[in-house]
A and B are shown apart, each in its own frame.
Chain A
């Protein structure tokens, strides 16, 4: 998966000592620097070759291929019209996002459309701590706290 080469990368974990808004700002800036460092290392050490699945029955078909090959056209058409039929059951997959754990919960009833899809964004957990963080402070400080928590209100409850 995407964490396959974590052991081969070198990066620092940014830590703040005071726990205030300025610390969170500094951490966010440092996180970006470290992210760029990781991206550069990945790009430089990437193995040459295909990066996508070449079995087009389970992946997105190259549009150019589907203009020449009947097999690929069928796969492309079915992928976009009927979608992939997932087996009955549910799964939860989490990935590391800049603000915390980003999780996706899928529930399939064995048809070509998902019965339920719940996305757990990290901002949802952060927003709950707003009450604790802004206690005994001015109302104007709430703006800064929300800003440094880096909440996107569209993502908090999806």
Chain B
């Protein structure tokens, strides 16, 4: 009934089709889709850290800020739905400047760990700093150092490298539903840790390592075993799972080192 009415109104010109645009490409708005979702469909690249399709939206990394013509402030594209007559610019001078500034802030307290970090080579922060980041560091002071916590035998936690995207937190709290991880402190002293220093008893905690965009949470059994560019990847199907989930098998030489989720299924939906 609704659709018939809608089409009737459309034909008679009572209801105008809502349109917006992203980088000049006209988008027909049908539902409450966010700017980021629509941009992904159009093939427009918007960098982000905290957004993941399977997790709840946080919007705290501020990497996906875009400019909207007529707005005096940039909007967070992973939260903001595209409404009619909104003209979004994703690669304007302002947006480039914002991305550069945000990456500069993220790298202020990031330790110089790339050569000894397990995530090196497949790190979102590295890739985005390379493409969108600035060329030089203007920070001349000492970096803040936090102590490492032990949260179990699966995950190695190096909180210095954390950029507080809270992906791990949302995974453990919302999807796993255990609520072991949380944010402590404010400002530059913000830390993500398990309450009371507990060891997390989460069955699928390995996903957290894959969700983490930086090297803060990596797989402990595989630490210092490989570099990402040494691996050959093969797509496969998990036969031990009744859902026959798509998996990616990473092989170094003739040895399987790890099994990852395929991006379309769970984790790195970048």
Contact = CB atoms under 8 A, between A and B. Distances in A.
Interface of A: 54-57, 65-75, 77-78, 81-82
B121 A73 contact: no
Contact of B130 (A54, A66, A67, A74): A74
A56 B129 CA distance: 12
Contacts of B31: none
B135 interface: yes
Contact of B229 (A56, A66, A81): A81
A73 B107 CA distance: 11
Contacts of B120: 77, 81
A88 B57 CA distance: 36
Contacts of B129: 70-71, 74
Contact of B135 (A56, A66, A78, A82): A56
A69 B111 CA distance: 10
A73 B137 CA distance: 10
A55 B126 CA distance: 17
A68 B137 CA distance: 9
5 contacts: A65-B136, A68-B112, A71-B134, A78-B126, A81-B120
B102 to A, nearest CB: 13
A70 B126 contact: no
Given A77-B120, A81-B121, A81-B227, A72 B126 contact: no
B197 to A, nearest CB: 28
B126 A77 contact: yes
Nearest to A80: B115
A8 B133 CA distance: 40
B257 interface: no
Indicate the member of A69, A71, A72, A75 with the most B CB atoms within 10 Å: A71
Contacts of B114: 73-74, 77
Given A78-B126, A82-B121, A72 B229 contact: no
Given A67-B112, A81-B120, A82-B229, A74 B134 contact: no
Interface of A is mostly: helix
Given A56-B136, A70-B107, A73-B114, 12 more contacts: A54-B135, A57-B130, A57-B135, A67-B112, A68-B137, A70-B110, A70-B112, A70-B137, A71-B104, A73-B112, A74-B107, A74-B130
Contacts of A82: 121, 229
A54 B129 CA distance: 17
Contacts of B121: 81-82
Interface string B88-116: 00000000000000001001101010110
Nearest to A81: B121
Nearest to A83: B229
A54 to B, nearest CB: 8
B57 to A, nearest CB: 27
B62 to A, nearest CB: 18
Given A67-B112, A81-B120, A74 B126 contact: yes
A72 B137 contact: yes
B136 A69 contact: yes
A70 B115 CA distance: 12
Contacts of A70: 107-108, 110, 112, 129, 137, 139
A73 B129 CA distance: 11
A65 B110 CA distance: 16
A34 B195 CA distance: 75
A66 B137 CA distance: 10
Contacts of B125: 74
A71 B108 CA distance: 9
A69 B137 CA distance: 5
A97 B134 CA distance: 38
Contacts of A81: 120-121, 227, 229
Q: Considering the complex of A and B, which 4 residue pairs feature the smallest CB-CB distances, nearest first?
A: A69-B137, A70-B107, A77-B114, A71-B137
